[in-house]
Structure 1
Amino acid sequence: MATKLRDRQIVALKQLLNLNTELSRKQLESEPQWKILVVDRYGKEILFSLLSMKEIRELGVTLTLLIHSEREAIEDVPAIYFCIPSEENIQRISTDCGCNLYEKFHLNFIGQVPRRLLEDLATRTVQTNSANLIAKVFDQYLNFIALEPCLFTLRHSNRDVISYHNLNSSKTTDSEIEESLHLMAESLFSMCVTLGTLPIIRAPKETAAEMLAQLLDKKLRESVRDTRSNLFTQDSFQSAGAGQLSFHRPVLVLLDRNIDLATPLHHSWTYQALVHDTMDLQLNKIKLSSGTGGSGVGGSNKEHELSPNDMFWSEQKGNPFPTVAESIQQSLEDYKASEGEITALKAQMGLDDDSSGAVAEAAAELVSGNTALLANAVSSLPQLLEKKRHINMHMNIASAVLEEVKLRKLDQLFETEEKILSKGASSLDKPLSSFLQDPDLGPDDKVRLFIIYLLSRQQQQAGDEQQNHGGPQGGGGGSSGRLSTSEVDSYCAELEASGCDIRPVHYIRKWMSITSMGGSSSAKSRQSLVYTGEGTVGTAKMFSNLLSQGSQFVMEGVKNFVITQRKLPVSRIVQNLMENRSGGLGSEVDEYAYFDPKVGNSSSAGEAGGNNGVPRTKSAFNEAIVFVVGGGSYIEYQNLVDLYNNNSKSGKKVVYGCTELANGSDFLKQLRMLGSD
């Protein structure tokens, strides 16, 4: 299940573009039926995040247009519409039908179209005598974006309505919160339909995650009981072209971002997370300046796609950055060696530009005996050229990342934050003030470091039965326990003196105050900040190739770390829930709400916290879907992948999803807005 989400969404999209008929081998080999594709911004993001323009054209789409753009009539060609079911879109579709823009209209709604809007469409088309133009209407249940085989997010456009800021702002009304949760429930329902599974749902109580769990449980329960929908029956799932209905039920873990506010702010050291943090990776795409080969000013910005189809990216994205740089260097040397073999073969056969006369005649005899070798060399040229393109792309990306690492001292920030998160604030070699007063560190990076330090000190107090407090300015030595108000004020004064905006700190202080006054649920949330595993970093000599003369990367002054595996708070919670632990190591999830859409009733499951009267499974889960309300991060995603998907011994698979993938700067911006509310 865990590696099939993206594949199944791609299959559904291709079937949609084939006028909702299953693609056969004969169709793929013959000329397709030509058609026009009309999308809104949500449909465009879903399609172009999973399919290339080449793949879309191969399915017969000659033209892709935005639904609210000015479009001319093409009356002899069918049109495929792919958009959200909104009043605005329904009105535009009705207008297009009334104007007879296309031969036939194949309407595909991203989510389930409400009956009210469907009736409105019918009324409008009847009034314009154009109802006969509508060939089919489909609810596609594709209201999410599978960025990778086991990674998905809900939306990119208008994602502010489901952001951490919107869900936690005092200015957001209850009706707006409810609307946001309904949007999430719709998307998660689509994800379940695409996977063909009815998960068991777990969520921490008294959080937005539990409210979302109740809404999703209700939707799944209603769908199972509705004999007309048949969304979770084997026949309907096979007819949708998505494969087999899964009978091995996963656990869907819904979590609130507040269980761990440190990880989204953490400076990472792995390739994918670094690219996201320094170059704003969005929908698997980045923009890179072509002027300097990096992120500097000059030249035009060129878009690069970092998709799962890029083998180097797929293999290296979770590795430490210096290891990736070394792999790029090795890939370049391998390419040059392959290129050299072809050049040598060409010269040996007398096929180079300088050969003539007797040399060419001798070459002709030689070619007859080396036909297979030559054919193999020629057939490998396209793959070599493609490999060279990817090497050059990652060379430019890594160079731009390296510039940011050196400019912002990201290696030092990563090392410092790792010590704080894994060993506690007392593990620092020097006072925190020395970092906050460093003129070479950027203002936002300083604030991120301080918030991590502040949260770590709070966690230390929560885990210390004696609640020991360290002295003022406790950046190293024996600092432990929660910072006093005067200590925090002192650090804030240092930050302001360095030109930092401390509004994010104001919000964190307010949040800490509220959680410290909360009940048991708040205490459980604070305990989730614990990072398990050694998580130590050490310097290792792994740059012998990179530092050699002629290397493409100048890594002097950049540290290389041996990162030991540790469990982030989200990973630890997921492990406890997958193993179905209770008491002891699993005590922190004992009180998590439990929903099973297949059993019980809405009153016992949805309204009473998801625990009363619902029989629980006692066996461990082999598959899990993890969804973080309020935003996720590539750091959490990679941690789960390393623990499960890349670990053959675990025998378990995990899919990670979130409302949005916000990098450290984006999340800090949201905290800043909350600090201003």
Structure 2
Amino acid sequence: MVYTQSEILQKEVYLFERLDSANREVMKHLKAICFLRPTKENVEFLIQELRRPKYSIYFIYFSNVISKSDVKALAEADEQEVVAEVQEFYGDYIAVNPHVFSLNLLGCCQGRSWDPAQLSRTTQGLTALLLSLKKCPMIRYQLSSEPAKRLAECVKQVITKEYELFDFRRTEVPPLLLILDRSDDAITPLLNQWTYQAMVHELLGINNNRIDLSRVPGISKDLREVVLSAENDEFYANNMYLNFAEIGSNIKNLMEDFQRRKPKEQQKLESIADMKAFVENYPQFKKMSGTVSKHVTVVGELSRLVAERNLLEVSEVEQELACQNDHSSALQNVRRLLQNPKVTELDAARLVMLYALHYERHSSNSLPGLLTELRNRGVSERHRKLVAAVVEYGGKRVRGSDLFSPKDAVAITKQFLKGLKGVENVYTQHQPLLQETLDQLIKGRLRDSQYPYLGPNTLRDRPQDVIVFIIGGATYEEALAVYNLNRTNPGVRIVLGGTTIHNTKR
């Protein structure tokens, strides 16, 4: 996530070993750089290493704050005086995009309460982020969420305890940490996506910038696993927030540009299949544009899945469930898709989950009938049980905000005008709740009664530096919303983080 192996090699680092690997050779001609989290286990591994050192000198870097007692234990183990340096480099989190981070944690809460180990890990990750950005923030949290309040208190305790580390130069407007709970918006992670990064994660899964393509029909060996990183891939950086149609068009433009430079190699590029054939037929193109061949493969697989799973139709109904308030039409469309054999078990369950969340208290609620239809079409009990679980997790009783409130006349007019300009289409009507929350925050209108400050102090001015953290995970749709807010509000910088980055399967 931070460095490619080739970049590390350029720094003359030639050997990569795990500290817990038992059969490492003694290599006294080499110096060792150790980068690790300051956990009990890691400190113990390091103590054992220093008692029997395999390298000549050790430079030790911890990704978070290490206790004085652990430093003392390491010093006592270093009888041969091989340690040259011990430092804290605050990198105890995963930097996903320039404005997005994750802690790669799944299942952080047990019911409505924190798992104690996950609360500790989340506190560590969040305080490491603050230290790396040199921020000592004021803290606001979602009042309807006990886990949000608990995390806010834990972060505040660390800031108070480590006050010397957090003694940064004061800014005119203090930074703000806003802690939210995923349960306030369980809709966003359930929707199919149509912008590149979000779509890849939803349909293929992005794990530490890696995409597993091994199940793609007819995939070549060198493309079984690919890396998508905006830092090392210009095409991805320029296209990650564009919609699916634009990406196909941009790949086509790149290939046509190559063809213009090689006039003998003219070939029609009318479809994704044409593009794949072009890449396979021209090894020279593949060599010159490995990046593009990778994206042709990824886009080709996305295209195949969209057709195979009937996702255009599924997504249209999802958007209706998320954004409209016509119960009769929504119910009719969900039932129609439940009869369609192309709709997968996951997509069928997802549609019923969205219906259950939106129309939970509707007078004509037909959830029992939809659950019966799921059972009749052979949807597994595991998927059927998720419907009740998602309502328990993010239903009306739990939410602090109203996800489905009818829009006022001004908002409806704005949306209509936007539609006329072609800014929106039927697959991207939905805006995550986070967008509205942050919009209110940067305008100074976010209610203290719903998002109180921790402690007596409050911000007098509109915030300029905002870190928003979602317990239960953020999404790439929300990452896009934050990207757009940063772009359209030049005086504001927002960083989004979560315990994980969601897709429906997570």
User: TM-score higher than 0.5 here?
Assistant: yes
- Given that 1:80 and 1:107 are in contact with CA atoms closer than 8 Å, whether structure 2 keeps it comes out as yes
Match of 2:85 in 1: 136
1:625 is aligned to 2:467: yes
Query: Aligned partners of 2:336 and 2:287: how far apart in 1?
Result: 47
Query: What is the CA distance between 1:489 and its match in structure 2?
Result: 1.5
Query: Aligned partners of 2:251 and 2:399: how far apart in 1?
Result: 46
Letter in 2 for 1:58: Q
The 1:450–1:407 alpha-carbon spacing in structure 2 relative to 1, beyond 3 Å, is same
Match of 2:450 in 1: 591
Q: Deviations over 1:498-548 (max 9, x none)?
A: 1223010121344467x53xxxxx4624x145596667898999xxxxxxx
Q: Deviations over 1:446-484 (max 9, x none)?
A: 1111111111113xx5xxxxxx623xxxxxxxxxxxx2x
Match of 1:441 in 2: 343
Match of 1:350 in 2: none
Match of 1:325 in 2: 248
Query: Aligned partners of 1:414 and 1:79: how far apart in 2?
Result: 52
Query: Aligned partners of 2:132 and 2:110: how far apart in 1?
Result: 30
Query: What is the CA distance between 1:665 and its match in structure 2?
Result: 1.5
> SS of the residue aligned with 1:594?
coil
The partner residue of 1:492 within 362, 371, 375 is 371
> SS of the residue aligned with 2:174?
coil
Query: What is the CA distance between 1:390 and its match in structure 2?
Result: 1.8
Query: What is the CA distance between 1:396 and its match in structure 2?
Result: 0.8
Q: Deviations over 1:210-231 (max 9, x none)?
A: 111111122123333x3xx4x5
> SS of the residue aligned with 1:502?
helix
Q: Deviations over 1:103-134 (max 9, x none)?
A: 11111111112233333323333xxx32x111
The 1:491–1:181 alpha-carbon spacing in structure 2 relative to 1, beyond 3 Å, is same
Query: What is the CA distance between 1:297 and its match in structure 2?
Result: 5.9
The partner residue of 2:363 within 466, 469, 483 is 469
Q: CA RMSD in A?
A: 3.1
Letter in 2 for 1:390: T
Match of 1:422 in 2: 323
> SS of the residue aligned with 1:88?
helix
- Given that 1:265 and 1:664 are in contact with CA atoms closer than 8 Å, whether structure 2 keeps it comes out as yes
Q: Deviations over 1:418-473 (max 9, x none)?
A: 12211124354944211122211001111111111111113xx5xxxxxx623xxx
* Greater C-alpha Rg: 1
Match of 2:400 in 1: 524
Q: Deviations over 1:588-623 (max 9, x none)?
A: x5331213xxxxxxxxx2xxxxxxxx2322211233
Bigger drift between 66-75 and 614-623 goes to: 614-623
> SS of the residue aligned with 1:108?
strand
1:208 is aligned to 2:147: yes
1:391 is aligned to 2:286: no
- Normalising by structure 2, we get a TM-score of 0.85
Query: Aligned partners of 2:496 and 2:288: how far apart in 1?
Result: 30
Match of 1:352 in 2: none
Please list, as runs of the form range in 1=range in 2, the aligned pairs for 1:434-583 lying within 5 A after superposition: 434-458=336-360, 469-470=363-364, 483=365, 487-500=366-379, 501-511=383-393, 516=397, 522=398, 524-525=400-401, 527-528=402-403, 530=405, 561=425, 567-581=431-445
The partner residue of 1:634 within 476, 480, 491 is 476
- How many residues were matched structurally? 474
Letter in 1 for 2:311: L
Match of 2:282 in 1: none
- Given that 1:272 and 1:317 are in contact with CA atoms closer than 8 Å, whether structure 2 keeps it comes out as yes
Match of 1:198 in 2: 136
Structure 1 gap ranges (5+): 1-48, 235-244, 344-383, 462-467, 471-482, 517-521, 542-559, 596-604, 606-613, 667-677
> SS of the residue aligned with 1:146?
strand
- Given that 2:141 and 2:152 are in contact with CA atoms closer than 8 Å, whether structure 1 keeps it comes out as yes
- Given that 1:255 and 1:627 are in contact with CA atoms closer than 8 Å, whether structure 2 keeps it comes out as yes
Query: Aligned partners of 2:96 and 2:183: how far apart in 1?
Result: 24
Letter in 1 for 2:212: K
1:168 is aligned to 2:89: no
Query: Aligned partners of 1:106 and 1:115: how far apart in 2?
Result: 18
Query: Aligned partners of 1:317 and 1:420: how far apart in 2?
Result: 26
The 1:594–1:334 alpha-carbon spacing in structure 2 relative to 1, beyond 3 Å, is same
The 1:79–1:115 alpha-carbon spacing in structure 2 relative to 1, beyond 3 Å, is same
Match of 2:313 in 1: 412
Query: Aligned partners of 2:371 and 2:419: how far apart in 1?
Result: 30
> SS of the residue aligned with 2:470?
strand
Query: What is the CA distance between 1:385 and its match in structure 2?
Result: 7.8
- Given that 1:193 and 1:232 are in contact with CA atoms closer than 8 Å, whether structure 2 keeps it comes out as no
Q: Deviations over 1:219-277 (max 9, x none)?
A: 123333x3xx4x5445xxxxxxxxxx866533222110100011111111111111111
- Given that 1:622 and 1:653 are in contact with CA atoms closer than 8 Å, whether structure 2 keeps it comes out as yes
Query: Aligned partners of 1:415 and 1:250: how far apart in 2?
Result: 39
What is the identity percentage for the equivalent residue pairs of Structure 1 and Structure 2?
Answer: 22
The 1:531–1:571 alpha-carbon spacing in structure 2 relative to 1, beyond 3 Å, is farther
- Given that 2:94 and 2:101 are in contact with CA atoms closer than 8 Å, whether structure 1 keeps it comes out as yes
Query: What is the CA distance between 1:285 and its match in structure 2?
Result: 1.5
- Given that 1:79 and 1:106 are in contact with CA atoms closer than 8 Å, whether structure 2 keeps it comes out as yes
> SS of the residue aligned with 1:137?
strand
Letter in 1 for 2:299: A
Match of 1:314 in 2: 237
Match of 2:18 in 1: 66
- Given that 2:58 and 2:83 are in contact with CA atoms closer than 8 Å, whether structure 1 keeps it comes out as yes
Q: Deviations over 1:67-114 (max 9, x none)?
A: 111211111221111111223222222222222311111111111122
Match of 1:645 in 2: 486
> SS of the residue aligned with 2:386?
helix
- Normalising by structure 1, we get a TM-score of 0.65
Letter in 1 for 2:390: I
Match of 2:274 in 1: none
The 1:138–1:636 alpha-carbon spacing in structure 2 relative to 1, beyond 3 Å, is same
Structure with the bigger RCO (C-alpha within 8 Å, sep 6+) is 2
> SS of the residue aligned with 1:80?
strand
Match of 2:3 in 1: 51
Query: Aligned partners of 2:16 and 2:55: how far apart in 1?
Result: 14
Query: Aligned partners of 1:64 and 1:178: how far apart in 2?
Result: 33
Match of 1:90 in 2: 43
1:660 is aligned to 2:500: yes
1:296 is aligned to 2:225: no
Query: Aligned partners of 2:390 and 2:63: how far apart in 1?
Result: 37
Match of 1:284 in 2: 209
Letter in 2 for 1:577: L
Match of 1:151 in 2: 100
Letter in 2 for 1:445: D
Match of 1:249 in 2: 174
Match of 1:187 in 2: 125
Query: Aligned partners of 1:439 and 1:385: how far apart in 2?
Result: 38
- Given that 1:436 and 1:495 are in contact with CA atoms closer than 8 Å, whether structure 2 keeps it comes out as yes
The 1:456–1:386 alpha-carbon spacing in structure 2 relative to 1, beyond 3 Å, is farther
Query: Aligned partners of 1:307 and 1:262: how far apart in 2?
Result: 27
- Given that 1:197 and 1:246 are in contact with CA atoms closer than 8 Å, whether structure 2 keeps it comes out as no
Query: Aligned partners of 1:143 and 1:77: how far apart in 2?
Result: 27
Query: What is the CA distance between 1:640 and its match in structure 2?
Result: 2.3
- Given that 1:531 and 1:566 are in contact with CA atoms closer than 8 Å, whether structure 2 keeps it comes out as no
> SS of the residue aligned with 2:453?
strand
Structure 2 gap ranges (5+): 267-284
Query: Aligned partners of 2:244 and 2:132: how far apart in 1?
Result: 34
Q: Deviations over 1:635-662 (max 9, x none)?
A: 11112222x1233x66433211111112
> SS of the residue aligned with 2:139?
strand
> SS of the residue aligned with 2:501?
coil
The 1:297–1:531 alpha-carbon spacing in structure 2 relative to 1, beyond 3 Å, is farther
> SS of the residue aligned with 2:356?
helix
Letter in 1 for 2:227: E
Query: Aligned partners of 2:487 and 2:51: how far apart in 1?
Result: 54
Query: Aligned partners of 1:386 and 1:623: how far apart in 2?
Result: 43
